[in-house]
Structure 1
Amino acid sequence: MALVYLKNKTNGITYVYESENYWDKDKQQSRSRRTCIGKLDPQTGAFIPSKRLNKPIKPSSSKADSTSVTESKRHYAGATFLLDAIGNKLGITADLKKCFPEQYDQMLSVAYYLILEDHNPLIRFPKWASTHKHPYGKDIPSQRSSELFASITEEGRERFFRLQGRRRTETEYWAYDTTTISSYSECLNQVKYGVNKEHDPIPQMNLALLFGEQSNLPFYYRKLPGNISDVQTVKSLIADMEFLDYKKIKLVMDRGFYSEANINALFQHHLKFLIGVKVSLKYVQSELETARTQLQKWENFNSDYDLFACSRTITWKYTQHRPYKGDVLEGERRAYLHLYFNKEKEAEDAMKLSRLLTRLKQELESGKRDPAHEKAYAKYFEVTSTPKRGAVIRPKQEAIDAAAKNYGYFAMLSNEIKDPIEALAVYRNKDLIEKAFGNLKERLNFRRMEVSSERSLDGKLFVEFVALIYLSYIKKEMQEKKLFQRYTMQGLLDELDVIECYERPGHDLRFGEITKRQRELYELLEVAPPSSL
């Protein structure tokens, strides 16, 4: 007997039926009988047997069980077995099945391919599918993959974000950051010219990503126009958090997201935050002036990070514009300003400014002024011209000394974390999101968007995001178990990928020989190895 999953469009519940095929002699055709044996839990996706059954029947997790195999097959299955186990552990498979009951297995197969075949384009999927056991079990031609991406709805994506967000601990901080993805396409509305970290001279779009700092797993993303700055995205992020019904939100962000309006918005929505701030801000300078001497005392030195640290409790001047009442609500909020001083950073800052001043002076002397440097010219140099001597360039020593005064210092602001070292540890863990962007662009082959329509872009980006969850889990486990000392990620996946499985009509799925090293890898990744001969 085979199992059939049917979703009731009225109540949204997925019912599980036992389907038995038989030959109808009168109509001279094959028919089927279906018996409802239970349903899937709306929240967890777990099977709930019907009360009339004497004993629970556990439905198969695969559409192609041993009774449905019509021919003998041999496939590589060691790496996909690992991904199956991770998907079940993290709830990815259950959440996708709940959100995309008709497409989830195809989406998983494409995600598996992107993970296991490093840098290979989707045009090579048919070759991979013919040699590997994967959730869909069949080929997905290039045209069909475009249709698959276009069929992934916004409603389904949002539901998946909501389900995955609930699986993340509410006590951890969520790292928030953006990256740019370049494109040559002229058909995508959000592809715009903007400033990116890689200085690509082509249009781009931005991608915002949320990561759990303890779980090291992503659970939310949003694409943005390429000309939107980081500071403009925070209020939209807050609105999304409310819409997705995330609770007890704690955000950690770099100083590119800082503005008074954003801090006020975070206070207004009762969100906890830790954010980098510029030392040049007036209230930071005011606190730093009174703390400089105390800050660099030995008692404030931390040997783990080789820096000096202290905290100041400050009063934030809170304002809230209320258009519906036509007024401005003012008040005070408590916050913690964390100040740091690092000798190595002091030397780096001094060297950086010296190189900048040398470059600016050369540009002024040659007459090849850079429009982007006009403010810096005016800040650090006084340029005069005489008939005999021509242009005379004099440094503004007061401005240079003022900049040097802040060498080696940096600061952070929080409305929850009181201890400066705890704040620094949380903030530095934010680096994991930068590494995730690297995985998305490099390993998942998404540095350039090879799509021509908005719907295909949205769908492909979502499947790439699903693949990123798996990669993030594997990377976290490899780091904790120190597996990177012996393997690259691709090397580890290749080590497992050579394990074969055998399917024969009327027989259960059987795995081939598994070496001691392969078994140890499964166990270190916290996955029970498949049973073999």
Structure 2
Amino acid sequence: LILNQNNNVSFYESFAETTRLPYPRALSPSAVTRLFQRIELRDVQRYFSLMRSYLQEDEDNKIILALDSTSISSYSTNLTHIEYGKNKDDDALPQLNVLFLVDQKSGLPIFYRFYDGNVPDVSTIRHTIADQALLNMKNVVLVADKGYNSVKNINDCLINKVEFIFNVRLGTKGCLARELIDEHRKEFADLNSGDPYIRKNIATAKVNWKYDPRPVEGKPASNSATAELYYHMFYDPVIYQEAANKLTESLLTIKKKLLEEEALTEQEEELKEKFFRNDKEKGLIIVNRRVDESLKYKGFRVLVTDSEKDPVKAWTAYADRWRVEDAFATLKDRLGCNRIRCSDNKALQGKTFVQFIATGLSLMVRSRIRSYMRENKKAGKLNLVYESDSKILQVLNNVMQTRFNHGYYFDEVAGKKIKYFEALDVRVPGAGPETPEEVPEEPETEPLLGTDIEI
């Protein structure tokens, strides 16, 4: 239902009328709620354990997991985990935060947990590491964006032997990353520091990091343990120039408005206060020094890692973080979970888990389509490049099944539909006898002879 429409399970009864289900009997809204309530944390943990086994079939290769969180709004104020706070979608509703771990190789989300809506990103990673210890995952590298690179998070990863690649926030004055950039500015000016593959100028600094291996709350850190961290710095002059052009255009627009005595917007007033000053002879002028300071770290990105010495490999691992953004886009936009329509605390765990499974299935469909396109590009087979997972599922949802008392058959599956099944690596349905598993133990009504329903 979620894959076909959205996360509103109130549509379930009409959906069940035309869809082949494990049990012919439809579920009422109250029955759906009871189903969600029966999904307990131990059931979810069992699923995570199976995903861990799948990921660790090849123990020699590192498992690179993209980590990020997003906010999901709720119309209900009865849920324990719903809180008002910083909403990443600038939504005025209360929310809960959902954190995903996505396998960057397959693109599949393999773990999630939700937090109260007012829990900041920087606080979630400690719980995630604890969950990983529970999952007993080995040879794992966490890749995360800004917001997760706090000193506490780095120390927690080092203490728990979890490898990491974190994007460093450069907005704080006096931070270590800024100091390292200033120390290596000559290298960035050298064209030979540019990498021909990622098209960035690169410099790397090795830092001796001190931390407390056995921290105790309330006691000062001993900093008796050390680790080598690699700060990989990347500079893109194109990004710098774009930022410079944008700021210059804004400042000149403000200057023109002032000369013509036009009103400034609120944002323009802030820029005026920051970059202009009154000169006794020239009047209001742009302060070039302030502009230079504002642009000083534009175009730079710094990745800190305890394990990846090669800056290009670190950049590639970070660039593949789009997988987790893809998962969030699927969860919220494609599957309609930007609003969680649930007002029961017990049912929240189950509904979130079902939404997580739906996200994984949707991404699996998309991944198989991409793989099919790569393998059959030269063969001239069906071109699926413009077909979305939702469109393909919608087409296959029109495959009709005629069911009798002791068997069933499907409409003829031909043309594009056969290719869709082939692309998804799913067997084309055919005729067959009714199996005992497909008949409910206590059906409310007998199946109708010759009834057409969708698969």
Q: Secondary structure at the match of 1:211?
A: strand
C-alpha displacement at 1:355, in angstroms?
A: 7.2
C-alpha displacement at 1:393, in angstroms?
A: 7.5
- The residue number in structure 2 matching 1:131 is 18
| In structure 1, distance between residues paired with 2:196 and 2:17 | 55
Cα distance change of structure 1 residues 350 and 532 upon mapping to structure 2, 3 Å threshold:
farther
- The residue number in structure 2 matching 1:81 is none
Q: Superposed, which structure 2 residues align to 1:214-253 within 5 Å?
A: 214-253=105-144
Q: Secondary structure at the match of 1:438?
A: helix
| In structure 2, distance between residues paired with 1:486 and 1:325 | 57
- The residue number in structure 2 matching 1:18 is none
- The residue number in structure 2 matching 1:429 is 320
Unpaired segments ≥5 residues, structure 1: 1-112, 387-391
The amino acid across from 2:207 in the alignment is I
- Computed over aligned residues only, the root mean square deviation of the Cα atoms, in angstroms, reads 3.2
* Deviations, residues 351-374 of structure 1 (Å, cap 9, x unaligned): 455578789999xx989979xx99
The amino acid across from 2:175 in the alignment is K
- The residue number in structure 1 matching 2:242 is 348
- The residue number in structure 1 matching 2:162 is 271
| In structure 2, distance between residues paired with 1:360 and 1:451 | 48
Q: Secondary structure at the match of 1:474?
A: helix
The amino acid across from 1:456 in the alignment is A
C-alpha displacement at 1:532, in angstroms?
A: 5.8
| In structure 1, distance between residues paired with 2:290 and 2:85 | 30
More strand by share: 1
- The residue number in structure 2 matching 1:48 is none
C-alpha displacement at 1:340, in angstroms?
A: 0.8
1:322 pairs with one of 215, 220, 224:
215
Q: Is the 8 A contact 2:277 2:287 kept in 1?
A: no
* Deviations, residues 226-277 of structure 1 (Å, cap 9, x unaligned): 2221111111111111123222221000011111111011111111111101
Q: Is the 8 A contact 2:37 2:350 kept in 1?
A: yes
- The residue number in structure 2 matching 1:306 is 199
C-alpha displacement at 1:421, in angstroms?
A: 1.6
Residue 513 in structure 1 maps to residue 400 in structure 2: no
| In structure 2, distance between residues paired with 1:532 and 1:358 | 73
Cα distance change of structure 1 residues 199 and 325 upon mapping to structure 2, 3 Å threshold:
closer
- The residue number in structure 2 matching 1:407 is 298
* Deviations, residues 20-43 of structure 1 (Å, cap 9, x unaligned): xxxxxxxxxxxxxxxxxxxxxxxx
Q: Is the 8 A contact 1:179 1:437 kept in 2?
A: yes
Residue 146 in structure 1 maps to residue 46 in structure 2: no
Q: Superposed, which structure 2 residues align to 1:323-402 within 5 Å?
A: 323=216, 328-330=221-223, 331-351=225-245, 353-354=247-248, 380=274, 397-402=288-293
| In structure 2, distance between residues paired with 1:338 and 1:292 | 13
Q: Is the 8 A contact 2:210 2:227 kept in 1?
A: yes
| In structure 2, distance between residues paired with 1:267 and 1:344 | 35
Unpaired segments ≥5 residues, structure 2: 374-382, 433-455
| In structure 2, distance between residues paired with 1:348 and 1:136 | 58
Q: Is the 8 A contact 1:513 1:532 kept in 2?
A: no
- The residue number in structure 2 matching 1:490 is 390
State the aligned residue count.
Answer: 409
Q: Is the 8 A contact 2:254 2:264 kept in 1?
A: no
- The residue number in structure 2 matching 1:527 is 426
Cα distance change of structure 1 residues 369 and 317 upon mapping to structure 2, 3 Å threshold:
farther
The amino acid across from 1:269 in the alignment is N
Q: Is the 8 A contact 2:101 2:111 kept in 1?
A: yes
Residue 114 in structure 1 maps to residue 2 in structure 2: yes
Greater CA drift, 258-267 or 402-411: 402-411
The amino acid across from 1:526 in the alignment is D
| In structure 2, distance between residues paired with 1:176 and 1:345 | 25
Q: Secondary structure at the match of 2:147?
A: helix
Q: Is the 8 A contact 1:182 1:448 kept in 2?
A: yes
Greater CA drift, 423-432 or 441-450: 441-450
Greater CA drift, 266-275 or 476-485: 476-485
Q: Is the 8 A contact 2:211 2:221 kept in 1?
A: no
Q: Secondary structure at the match of 2:230?
A: strand
Cα distance change of structure 1 residues 395 and 333 upon mapping to structure 2, 3 Å threshold:
farther
| In structure 2, distance between residues paired with 1:351 and 1:313 | 34
Residue 440 in structure 1 maps to residue 440 in structure 2: no
C-alpha displacement at 1:152, in angstroms?
A: 1.5
**TM-score, length-scaled by structure 2:** 0.80
Cα distance change of structure 1 residues 210 and 357 upon mapping to structure 2, 3 Å threshold:
farther
Q: Superposed, which structure 2 residues align to 1:292-303 within 5 Å?
A: 292-303=185-196
| In structure 1, distance between residues paired with 2:12 and 2:178 | 57
| In structure 1, distance between residues paired with 2:239 and 2:185 | 16
Q: Is the 8 A contact 1:321 1:327 kept in 2?
A: no
- The residue number in structure 2 matching 1:501 is 401
| In structure 2, distance between residues paired with 1:127 and 1:278 | 49
Q: Is the 8 A contact 1:514 1:532 kept in 2?
A: no
| In structure 2, distance between residues paired with 1:205 and 1:354 | 40
Greater CA drift, 195-204 or 229-238: 195-204
Cα distance change of structure 1 residues 399 and 190 upon mapping to structure 2, 3 Å threshold:
farther
| In structure 2, distance between residues paired with 1:210 and 1:260 | 21
| In structure 2, distance between residues paired with 1:155 and 1:531 | 37
